[in-house]
């Protein structure tokens, strides 16, 4: 099972709790997470790569509520952060700084110092200028910090152009040719131990081939560097592993591992992984209530209380999120989340939010069971890049977040209030 959201007696449950019961208490729109799903995906990855005993650094940006970070820290997870704010979250959640890796092309001085003070495991460095900055700050503190150079291997991850990072024309990392020069110049510094290579080629990547290509390229580089006396100890292959937006879409963790482990065997490299979506995406749903039905020409619009400020992926990336009512007739209990369900009596709808933009659409031309005002709709695979990318656009307070664990649930972020909307604008 890819997640713990399932229909029982024609009603959607999050683990052992009816989704409607949560919506009644927490109101809508609301993000609902399943603790068991988070744990399961973390463990699957850990088991798949067990031979390499990787350090799994969960990517905080995908879903960073402190309750979720705490749960993952308890499983032994490390964390991939990209800002001082994310590092703060991890530390607040009790995550160990010694298992934090820090990426990002624009780390500020104060963020770098904050990470040094915390004692993070590794800076994932994106440019020579950043290397100079980190080296100088480390020397100033008489501290030796570990760093990895983010290498851009120039492979095509075949994903959306906005989330493709490992090709030459993106802003991330340095190309392999330049990496040689960077190691030659900065590979033997007193306060900066540049002993790792970092990759992150894009997200989501629903095949193993781009990883294989990228890893082969950097293994050649590592061998070359080692011949020149530069010790490379760590290989971080980043994140980007797929999630099931439709049933069976993403390769299982085992498949990535089977493709990569043979390349890594005997290389004497500490392996780091930075999964975000593959752990968090299927662990969350976004639940919204239908307000009105409206006929527009041939179309039926289902106007709901959730909008692009809550979940921006459909408009930003043309992302497909499976969406289905939480209470259905026996004919419409669904197990296969696909683009065009083959069930009797479905009708086409555009599911749209209240925001004043044409793009404010959660689902277009979607075949759904007949809907009526008051129905709850669940948007699946919304755990990653859902709440974290939400905004207050149109002065809409952000949604609540709820964490379900077995037969219990807890509001782990209260719904924002109107007061929250202006809290930073008044003295």
**Catalytic machinery residues:** 356
Query: Could you tell me the smallest distance in angstroms from the CB atom of residue 256 to ligand LLP?
Result: 11
Three-state secondary structure call for residue 74: helix
**Min CB(259)–ligand LLP separation in Å:** 16
Interface residue with ligand LLP among 204, 284, 306, 369 (CB under 6 A) is 204
- Return d(Cα 58, Cα 287) in angstroms, integer: 25
Sole residue written with tokens 């905004």: 391
Sites for ligand LLP among residues 267-296 (CB under 6 A): 274-278
In the stretch 340-369, what mask flags binding to ligand LLP with x, by CB under 6 A?
A: ------------------------------
Report how many residues bind ligand LLP under the rule CB under 6 A: 22
Please give the residue whose beta carbon sits closest to ligand LLP in the complex.
276
List all residues 6 or more positions away from 231 whose beta carbon is below 8 Å from its beta carbon: 195
Does residue 239 interact with ligand LLP by CB under 6 A?
yes
Tell me if 1 sits within 8 A of 34, measured CB to CB: no
Which residue's CB is nearer to ligand LLP, number 78 or number 369? 78
Cβ at position 420, least distance to ligand LLP in Å = 24
Cβ 345 vs Cβ 331: under 8 Å: yes
If DSSP codes are grouped into helix, strand and coil, which group holds residue 216? helix
Question: How would you classify the pairing of strands 145-152 and 174-175?
Answer: parallel
Between CA 236 and CA 257 the distance in angstroms is: 14
The tokens of 297 are what?
Answer: 């020409």
Q: Which is nearer to ligand LLP, 275 or 325 (CB)?
A: 275
Phi, psi of 131 (to 5 degrees): -60, -45
Nearer to ligand LLP, 277 or 396 (CB): 277
DSSP letter assigned to residue 222: H
Coil, helix or strand at residue 13? strand
Residue with smaller CB distance to ligand LLP, 322 or 409: 322
Q: Which of 59, 83, 114, 234 binds ligand LLP (CB under 6 A)?
A: 59
Instruction: Establish if 250 lies at the interface with ligand LLP (CB under 6 A).
Output: no
Write each residue from 87 to 116 as x if it is in contact with ligand LLP (CB under 6 A), else as -, in one continuous string. Answer: ----------------x-------------
Strand order in the sheet with 17-18: 5-8, 11-14, 17-18
Q: Kindly state whether residue 80 participates in binding ligand LLP, applying the rule CB under 6 A.
A: yes
Element (H, E) at 325: strand 323-325
Look up residue 115 and give its two tokens: 């990470």
The least distance separating ligand LLP from the CB of residue 203, rounded to whole angstroms, comes to 3
- DSSP string across 148-208: EEEEE------S-GGGB-SSTTSSSSEEHHHHHHHHHHHTT-SSEEEEEEE---BS-B-SS
| Cα distance between residue 145 and residue 119, in whole Å | 8
Q: Does 64 bind ligand LLP (CB under 6 A)?
A: no
The smaller minimum CB distance to ligand LLP, of residues 187 and 276, is found at: 276
- Which range in 54-62, 125-133, 295-303, 403-411 contacts ligand LLP by CB under 6 A? 54-62
385 binds ligand LLP per the rule CB under 6 A: yes
Work out how close the CB of 119 gets to ligand LLP at its nearest, in angstroms, rounded to a whole number.
20
- Sketch the per residue contact string, 162 through 201, with ligand LLP: x for CB under 6 A, - otherwise: -x------------------------------------x-
Q: Are 125 and 149 in contact (CB under 8 A)?
A: yes
Near ligand LLP by CB under 6 A: residue from 4, 89, 289, 313: 313
Would you tell me which residues interact with ligand LLP (CB under 6 A)? 59, 61-62, 80, 103, 163, 200, 203-204, 238-241, 274-278, 313, 317, 384-385
């Amino acid at each position: 099972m890819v997640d713990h959201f399932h229909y029982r007696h024609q009603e959607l449950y999050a683990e052992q709790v009816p989704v409607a019961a949560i919506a009644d208490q927490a109101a809508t729109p609301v993000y609902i997470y399943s603790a068991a799903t988070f744990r399961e995906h973390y463990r699957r990855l850990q088991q798949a790569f067990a031979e390499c005993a990787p350090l799994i650094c969960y990517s905080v940006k995908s879903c960073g509520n402190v309750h979720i970070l705490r749960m993952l820290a308890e499983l032994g997870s490390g964390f991939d952060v990209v800002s001082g704010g994310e590092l703060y979250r991890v530390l607040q959640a009790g995550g160990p700084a010694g298992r934090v890796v820090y990426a990002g092309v624009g780390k500020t001085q104060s963020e770098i110092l904050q990470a040094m003070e915390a004692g993070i495991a590794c800076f994932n460095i994106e440019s020579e200028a950043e290397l100079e900055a980190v080296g100088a700050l480390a020397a100033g503190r008489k501290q030796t910090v570990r760093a990895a150079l983010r290498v851009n291997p120039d492979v095509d991850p075949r994903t959306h152009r906005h989330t493709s990072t490992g090709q030459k024309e993106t802003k991330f990392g340095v190309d392999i040719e330049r990496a040689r020069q960077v190691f030659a110049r900065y590979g033997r510094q007193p306060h900066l131990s540049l002993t790792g290579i970092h990759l992150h080629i894009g997200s989501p990547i629903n095949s193993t081939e781009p990883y294989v290509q990228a890893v082969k390229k950097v293994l050649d580089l590592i061998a070359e560097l080692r011949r020149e006396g530069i010790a490379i100890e760590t290989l971080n292959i980043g994140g980007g592993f797929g999630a099931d937006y439709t049933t069976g879409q993403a390769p299982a963790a085992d498949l990535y591992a089977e493709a990569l482990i043979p390349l890594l065997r005997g290389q004497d490299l500490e392996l780091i992984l930075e999964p975000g979506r593959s752990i968090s995406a299927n662990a969350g749903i976004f639940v919204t209530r239908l307000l009105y039905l409206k006929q527009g020409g041939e179309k039926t619009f289902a106007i709901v209380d959730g909008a692009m400020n809550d979940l921006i992926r459909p408009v930003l990336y043309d992302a497909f999120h499976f969406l289905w009512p939480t209470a259905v007739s026996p004919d419409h209990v669904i197990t296969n989340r696909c683009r065009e369900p083959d069930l009797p009596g479905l009708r086409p709808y555009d599911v749209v939010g209240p925001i004043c933009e044409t793009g404010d659409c959660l689902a277009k031309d979607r075949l759904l069971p007949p809907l009526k005002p008051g129905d709850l709709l669940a948007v699946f695979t919304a755990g990653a890049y859902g709440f974290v990318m939400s905004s207050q656009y149109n002065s809409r307070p952000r949604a609540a977040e709820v964490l379900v664990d077995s037969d219990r649930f807890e509001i782990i972020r209260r719904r924002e209030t109107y007061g929250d909307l202006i809290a930073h604008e008044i003295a």
